[in-house]
Structure 1
Amino acid sequence: MSTKHDPNSEQETYEMRESASSPAGEDISAEGKPWMYKPIKIGTWKFPWFASPEAQLALVSFVCFLCPGMYNAVTGLGGGGQINPHDVNNANTALYSTLSVVGFFAGTFANRVGLKLTLSCGGFGYLLYVAALLSYSHNNNVGFLIFAGALLGVCAGLLWCAQGTVMMSYPLEEQKGKFIAFFWVVFNLGGVIGSLVPLGQNIHSTAGEVNDGTYIAFIILMAIGFFLAWGLLDSKYIKRKDGSKVIAIKHPTWSTEFKGLFVTLKHDSYIILLFPMFMASNWFTAYQFNSVNGAYFNIRTRSLNSLLYWLCQMIGAFVFGQLLDMKRFSRSMRAKLIFGLLFVLTMAIWGGGYAFQKGYDRSVAPTMDWSSSGYVGPMFLYMFYGFYDASFQTFSYWIMGSLSNNSRKLANFAGFYKGIQSVGQAVTWRMDALETPFMNEFASCWGILVGSLLVAIPVVFKVKDTTDVEEDLKFSDETIQEVAPEQGK
């Protein structure tokens, strides 16, 4: 009996290896159009070519600025800007339930159809969801709201997978912290600017819900983001400034991708130790948005708090991005030092949150105004919550990106991240819908954050000073051999 390898699989391996690196200055742009590789000049300003990692990250960042960034501005108001958050909580439970499933497998979809289609499909759900909130304000159509939430979960799973793949696999190793920080700053600028909309329209209002103009403005901005997503290039066209290209398989099949997903878990089983961090990374949003901002403040103060929250997210991302790319220390040392700083922030900020949460429960009406004498303390706490959110997620993405440069593997990592993160969000939005005591919600947030960091310690110590290209390609070779077994007789 004789055997032979699948020739298509061998070709996939060869093409991946060929595209992984190329001598600086060599023409490797044959697949793209010439205009993609010409620097962009606007007056005296010169910007990277369109098919560069920098330009593509900027495009993805502005898509997220306009879609999930504006969505964050809406949810940051507490209850989606509604007086009674019960039905919005159920819609969010549906959202994160579908996102947890789609997000986990989104890397498979992205590797098969490409990042452009993955990102573009992801943008539509956001504008439909805000349209459903607008509709709900007039007719209380709960069914449409929950359907829109579930569809948004599908779309968001795809969008965040494409975003994570671009952010982690496109930059050079020494740029990953800055790329993550740049994305997080632009993305959260959406929350900042988005928060100005309800703040400006409700600045003289002491009511508990936003007006129609707020929702309409968000719908228009999200529609712009949806159309902008179609400008993304697939990874096969990307050329870095040193001449190298992104490690990716050019012609995967659905079969190899679905099987390769589980090969990733087998080959890189250490990623499982990061799953608690993935779940913890947004576990606290329902508590912060609804149980703090929505339950304690009136609408104009909630709008101001939301603005400050997203502004501090930008600051947190910038600070941690700079720290994670410090040249004074080796990458392995930076991983340990920044991990220690994150643990200290977890104890300090959430310790302050415990002191605040002891002062009220669900029986308190949301009436605190920025003119009240006791406002300054809670305001700074909420700002630090925003700083911490960006710091935690910047570090999480950086850890994943430091473990590989392979876009195929990182697409799966990004899918795992959003899928598992969304399981946590589905649980916590449901907890809030069931009117779980605020202190219980708080305790679950602080507990899972501390526990997840402790579990992740072995992965932090696994970070090396550089990721070997051959090791990344070895993973891909082994993946292909396992998912495309020998055939014939």
Structure 2
Amino acid sequence: MTSDKEILSTIPDSHVESTDTEKESVSKGAYIDISIEEVSKEENADLESLSSIDNNKWYNKSKTIFGYKLLPYSQGRSQILMVSFVVFMIVGMSSAIGGLGAGGTLNATVVNNSNVAVYTAFAFLAFFCGPICNKIGVRATLCFGGWGYALYYGSLLCYNKTGNGTFVIASGAIEGLCAAFLWTAQGNIMLSYSEEENKGKNIARFWAIFQMGNVIGSLVPLIQTIHSTSETLADSTYIAFIVIISTGAIMATMLLPTRLVRKADGTRVILKKNPTWKSEMKALWTVLKLQPWFIGMFPMFWSSNWFMTYESNDYNLVQFNLRTRSLNNLMFAIFEVLGAFSAGYLLDSRFCSRKTMARIGWGLLMGFTLIIWGGGLKSQLRYTRQTVDDDELSLLDWTSSGYGAYLVLYMLYGAFDAWWQTYSYWVMGSLTNSSRKLAIYTGFYKSIQSAGAAVVWRLDALDTPYMAMFGSTWGLLLGSLLIASPVIYSRILEETDPDDDIKFTEND
């Protein structure tokens, strides 16, 4: 086992400003804090991380339960799993209602307008949420973000009783502000707590657990409506979701501060010491100034929620009765889980270089876009807004002839969603390991994603023709992949540059 003297001797004098007394204290087992500002080389930072772990702390100890050895709570993977379950309870469960179309109500216009409010507020704040997250910490950011979801689903319950659409729209705006906090913290944890070779797997684990919330949540309305012809959800459904979402927000307080987290190899998360509001807001613009090519990813971000409006409102809502929509939503969520696992584990496989894998992933995503959405065109040709408004389109039940083909298409939409999101996160994670930079990246991602969603929900609320909604979705997906290709083909390397990450992290 390497002694403290040996560890100290491997650190160049140029990186450590210490007195003889400090060196003597290290040789006796005392801890000396060597910050990233004083250690510029990755290997020396790793030595500092390993030497500073206090194994007497409960969160640094492994525990054995029923013969299975659990990872220390402070390990990055444990924290990623924890945030996965938090988002599982907050967003995953609530997605089950959203996937039914019109939030489980009969008034699509009110819910569409509330979604415009959600995503407009989300887009505005998420752009600046990276610096906020870096300043106040991921734990506070994530916890605060959860409460807006509980308020929003409370407003849907209120709407079923009072018809107060204004409250739903106002609650949507508040949910959007809170969602910006939640998703920025989530993306930061998921990407910066992972080792380079495991980012795809950790994205897959997060997405699978998160979508299991949608799977379980979809079972609730399915069970309640399986023998019912009602087209609205029961009050008890909304109440159950509000309780679960609130519990998830409380669970977020159990996360560890980033400074106590270690990756699986024992190294610290690259984290700026003592950030200020000025330094974090400046960093936001520094990323765009130093990396203007990153803007090439923005169309992919814009498209990443655009298709959800078409899938939930213009496909699922208008063609099927409530119990069949519930079944569709369940299968959609299951295929999102399967899609996330297949994408994440493939992207992390090492039968080729990471640079080559980025290109393979891009090619597969392009192929899926052509095939799956090309298949969706046939379904869209059978109805228009006019035929739906005139009640000329009969709602399908799972007992209807030909229903199976529509279900398969909807399941493939779910898998496609998971592939798109997983690949986008994987690309961002392949560009840097810096927690500070990743918070900004994910802030950009969620801001631009939400801006696109606000636009498309408004278009749907204005009764834009279904074919136009479909065409805009398919066209944006194909176009954004082409625009992002130079970034994917030229900027993803086999390993990120640690010196570049440290330089950015410590830059004021």
Q: TM-score range by the shorter chain?
A: over 0.9
| Contact 2:49–2:268 (8 Å) recurs in 1 | no
Structure 2 partner of 1:443:
471
- Deviation of residue 18 (structure 1)? 8.5
Cα distance in 2 between the residues matched to 1:373 and 1:24: 66
Q: Point out the more displaced range, 41-50 or 438-447.
A: 41-50
Provide the residue aligned with 1:484 in structure 2: none
**Partner in structure 2 of residue 405 of structure 1:** 433
- Seen in structure 2, the aligned counterparts of structure 1 residues 260 and 16 have a Cα distance that, compared at 3 Å, is farther
8 Å contact 1:12–1:249 — kept in the other structure?
Answer: no
Other-structure match for 2:442: 414
Identity of counterpart residues, as a percentage? Answer: 46
Flag the structure with more relative contact order, 1 or 2, with Cα contacts below 8 A and sequence separation at least 6: 1
Q: How far, CA to CA, are the matches of 2:463 and 2:36 in structure 1? A: 53
Aligned to 2:369: 346
Given that 1:52 and 1:239 are in contact with CA atoms closer than 8 Å, whether structure 2 keeps it comes out as yes
The within-5 A match list for 1:40-51 is: 40-51=63-74
Which sits farther off after the overlay, 467-476 or 373-382? 467-476
In structure 1, what is the equivalent of residue 457 of structure 2? 429
Unaligned 5+ runs, structure 2: 1-33
Is the CA contact (8 Å cut-off) linking 1:349 and 1:385 kept in structure 2? yes
Residues in 1 aligned to 2:201 and 2:110: alpha-carbon distance in whole angstroms: 39
How far has the Cα of 1:28 moved from its partner? 2.1
How does 1:50-449 map onto structure 2 within 5 Å? Answer: 50-362=73-385, 363-364=387-388, 365=391, 367-449=395-477
Match of 1:21 among 34, 40, 45: 45
Which residue in 2 is equivalent to 1:483? Answer: none
CA shift, 1:173, in A, is 0.5
Shift, 1:474, TM fit: 2.4
For the aligned residue pairs, the C-alpha RMSD in angstroms reads 1.7
Q: 1:415 to 1:33 in 2, by over 3 A?
A: farther
CA distance in 2 between counterparts of 1:21 and 1:296 reads 57
CA displacement, residues 163-182 of structure 1 (integer Å, 9 cap, x when unaligned): 00011111110000000000
Contact 2:309–2:457 (8 Å) recurs in 1? yes
> Aligned equivalents of 1:236 and 1:470: distance in 2?
20
CA, structure 1 residues 473+216, in 2 after alignment: closer, same or farther (shift >3 Å)? same
Deviates more, 1:151-160 or 1:262-271: 262-271
For 1:270 and 1:187, locate their aligned partners in 2 and report how far apart those are by CA, in whole Å. 31
Q: Using the alignment, how far apart are the partners of 2:64 and 2:80 within structure 1?
A: 18
Q: Does structure 2 conserve the Cα–Cα contact (< 8 Å) formed by 1:24 and 1:243?
A: no
> Per-residue displacement from partner, 1:8-45 (whole Å, max 9, x unpaired)?
xxx98616859983239833236x97111101322211
Residue 4 (structure 1) aligns with: none
Are residues 451 and 12 of structure 1, via their aligned partners in 2, closer, same or farther at CA, if it must alter by over 3 Å? farther
Aligned length: 468
Query: Do the aligned partners of 2:49 and 2:267 also contact (CA within 8 Å) in 1?
Result: no
Task: Tell me the secondary structure at the aligned position of residue 306 of structure 2.
Answer: coil
CA–CA distance in structure 2, aligned partners of residues 241 and 466 of structure 1? 17
Matching residue of 2:492: 463
Change (3 A) 1:57 1:303: same
Structure 1 residues 40 and 147, CA gap change in structure 2 (3 angstroms): farther
- Matched residue SS, 1:23: helix
Q: For 2:374 and 2:485, locate their aligned partners in 1 and report how far apart those are by CA, in whole Å.
A: 22
Q: Does structure 2 retain, via aligned residues, the 8 Å contact 1:104–1:419?
A: yes
**Aligned position for 1:5:** none
Counterpart secondary structure, 2:64: strand
Q: Point out the more displaced range, 414-423 or 241-250.
A: 241-250
Q: Between 356-365 and 344-353, report the one with greater CA deviation.
A: 356-365
**Aligned mates of 1:15, 1:195 — CA distance in 2:** 52
Q: Is it true that 1:474 corresponds to 2:503 in the alignment?
A: yes
Relative to structure 1, is the Cα distance of residues 356 and 37 closer, same or farther in structure 2, using a 3 angstrom cutoff?
Answer: same
Q: 1:8 — aligned with what?
A: none
- In the TM superposition, residue 241 of structure 1 has moved relative to its aligned partner by 2.5
TM-score (norm 1): 0.93
Following TM superposition, by how much is the alpha carbon of 1:148 offset from its aligned partner in structure 2, in angstroms?
0.8
- In structure 2, C-alpha distance between the alignment counterparts of 1:162 and 1:33, rounded to whole Å: 28
Contact between 2:261 and 2:269, CA under 8 Å: does it hold in 1? yes
Question: Retained in 1: the 8 A contact 2:396–2:403?
Answer: yes
Moved more, 21-30 or 55-64: 21-30
Counterparts of 1:274 and 1:402, CA distance in 2 = 13
Q: Is the 8 A contact 1:21 1:243 kept in 2?
A: no
The equivalent residue for 2:481 is 453
Q: Is the 8 A contact 2:328 2:407 kept in 1?
A: yes
The separation in 1 between residues aligned to 2:299 and 2:289, in whole angstroms, is 18
The structure having more radius of gyration, on CA atoms, is 2
How far the C-alpha of 1:338 sits from its partner, in A, is: 1.1
User: Could you report, residue by residue, the CA deviation over 1:180-214 in whole angstroms, capped at 9, with x for unpaired residues?
Assistant: 00000000000000000000111112222111111
Change (3 A) 1:200 1:135: same
Tell me, in whole angstroms, the C-alpha distance in 2 between the residues paired with 1:341 and 1:83: 38
CA distance in structure 2 between the aligned counterparts of 1:134 and 1:17, rounded to whole angstroms: 55
Distance 1:469 1:203, change over 3 A: same
2:46 corresponds to which letter in structure 1? S
Contact 1:80 1:88 in 2 (8 A): yes
Structure 1 residues 300 and 435, CA gap change in structure 2 (3 angstroms)? same
Checking the alignment, whether the CA contact within 8 Å between 2:36 and 2:45 is kept in structure 1 is: no
Which amino acid in structure 2 is aligned with residue 22 of structure 1? Answer: D
Distance 1:45 1:435 in 2: 55
1:67 is paired with a residue whose SS is helix
CA distance in 1 between counterparts of 2:93 and 2:411 reads: 18
305 and 460 in structure 1: CA distance in 2 versus 1, 3 angstrom threshold = same
Output the CA distance in 2 between the equivalents of 1:247 and 1:420.
25
SS of 1:21's equivalent in the other structure is helix
The residue type paired with residue 323 of structure 2 is R
Amino acid at match of 1:64: V
Distance 2:476 2:447 in 1: 17
